[in-house]
Structure 1
Amino acid sequence: MKNKKAIIIGASSGIGKGISLGLLENGYKIGISARRKERLDEIKKLNPEMVIVKEYDSSTEKNDKLINLLIEKLNGVDLIIYCSGIGIINKELDYSIEKKVNNLNVLGFTQVVTHAFNYFLKKGEGHIVNISSVASEIGNGISPSYNASKAYQANYLQGLRFKAFRMKMPIFLTDVRPGFVDTDILMGNKDKLFWVAPLDKACQQIIIAIERKRKIIYITKRWKIISLLIKILPERIIRLFF
């Protein structure tokens, strides 16, 4: 049986690492990248022949070269996943912070996803997955760029789904919208938050969604309730929480 092959951008920790481990267990050959090579090497040690490692900062303007390198080393891929992202509290609305967030969450994301889409157009099929957030559906007064950048990602992926449909191309695009997941991004605030999903459970649900080629998936599923509330509650109420 031919191994499926995947690239995971932002694989050194959290959801990206969990997805990488899950795909590896499912028989995928994977190409993984992140800034912290030592953490990538820990994944490679589990199955050296099935893991390609590349140290890389996705906030640069060379993501196309990274994708090409990993595609070449894997001899083609079926799945490209963008897990790279950053969220910074910015109560003072410091532009340098907003720029840092958007460099990764908007520019880095766009370069990876457009390059992946064009690659799969030439190949004739493929699957792109992005880890966005429930935050994509609402603004945030203390971290405006994070929520706005996630909204951009969700909207952009939907646009590419429309594009693939019009072109009658079997290119699937999955928008993963987690709520709170027990990763470093919570910065030790786990006990102050609600519905915090264990990382293993979150990644299992994501991998199932990938295999089923879902369009949009909430992690965990009950976060769809929050999504519905965001849509129906008036702003004068929602703004009290964000």
Structure 2
Amino acid sequence: MKKAIIIGATSGIGQEVARLLVRQGWRIGIAGRREEALRSMQQTNPEQIEIQCLDVTEDNAILHLNRLVDRLGGMDLFFLSSGVGYQNRNLEPEIELNTARTNVEGFTRMVTAAFDYFKKTGGGHIAVISSIAGTKGLGVAPAYSATKRFQNTYIDALAQLSRMQRLNIRFTDIRPGFVATDLLRNGKYPMLMHADEVARHIVRALKHKKRVAVIDGRYSLLVFFWRMIPRWLWERLPIKN
């Protein structure tokens, strides 16, 4: 039976992916900050689900991850779904710094731990949820878009490092468009997708071990043209959401 660790499984996309993997027969270890939500999900299928409270911004997060892996009996897939994002036109420092703590510091802490585990055990699959926001800097959410670019680049670098070291580690960088989760609780967004729909796309991408998965096709087209906008024009666009 395949085994997956899912970080950030207490709500949204991570929770929906966890549900789909359980239906497909995976044993999963789910982690997040809200113990009550974790226990509630475990009760739906206690034979296939292990749980662990974990905050990616805490120094002890790797210790908690290792405990969860041990209880699960190993892992074949590491899936990181935790992240924060805010609109911050006023550039309130704590909002920007908190975004970086989770999306950069926490991201790095957990992904490097997974990389080291798979390096020692002979290989595995690391998948992360980043965002199409990493394509260009969004003026309404500077830290969010910058941290997502960081995540894209970091996974690119680890994929190269894995090949340099001849490791059997696969990577999937999942870049959704706008998804109706708590992350987008403020503002109106075009082409809004639902978490369960996005999760189905993600599970297909994981099955085929896609290196980069932009979700969905509409956003793939958007990103294609988005990249072509010159910097001088981008800086003058009145983006409000």
Counterpart position of 2:198 = 202
Q: For 2:131 and 2:238, how far apart are their aligned partners in 1?
A: 17
Aligned-residue offset at 1:241: 4.5
Question: Is residue 218 of structure 1 aligned with residue 214 of structure 2?
Answer: yes
Cα displacement string for residues 78-129 of structure 1 (whole angstroms, at most 9, x for unaligned residues): 0111111001222221221111111110000001000100110111110001
Cα RMSD, aligned residues only: 1.3
Question: Is residue 229 of structure 1 aligned with residue 221 of structure 2?
Answer: no
State the AA in 2 paired with 1:43: M
Aligned-residue offset at 1:220: 1.1
Counterpart position of 1:34 = 32
State the AA in 2 paired with 1:169: L
Cα displacement string for residues 138-161 of structure 1 (whole angstroms, at most 9, x for unaligned residues): 102121111100110110001011
Q: For 1:160 and 1:127, how far apart are their aligned partners in 2?
A: 12
Cα displacement string for residues 174-220 of structure 1 (whole angstroms, at most 9, x for unaligned residues): 0000001122222154xx32211122211001001011111000111
State the AA in 2 paired with 1:113: V
Deviates more, 1:52-61 or 1:168-177: 52-61
Aligned-residue offset at 1:237: 3.0
Counterpart position of 1:52 = 50
Return 5+ residue gaps in structure 1 as ranges.
none
Counterpart position of 2:170 = 172
State the AA in 2 paired with 1:97: I
TM-score scaled by length of structure 2: 0.95
State the AA in 2 paired with 1:46: T
State the AA in 1 paired with 2:222: I
Partner SS for 2:47: helix
Cα displacement string for residues 208-242 of structure 1 (whole angstroms, at most 9, x for unaligned residues): 10111110001112211121112111223333154
Counterpart position of 1:105 = 103
State the AA in 2 paired with 1:96: E
Cα displacement string for residues 36-58 of structure 1 (whole angstroms, at most 9, x for unaligned residues): 11111221111101111112222
Aligned-residue offset at 1:62: 2.0
Paired residues of 1:6 and 1:31 also in contact (CA < 8 A): yes
Q: For 1:199 and 1:159, how far apart are their aligned partners in 2?
A: 28
Q: For 1:211 and 1:241, how far apart are their aligned partners in 2?
A: 39
TM-score scaled by length of structure 1: 0.94
Equivalent residues in 2 for 1:21-170, closer than 5 Å: 21-170=19-168
Counterpart position of 2:179 = 181
Aligned residues: 238
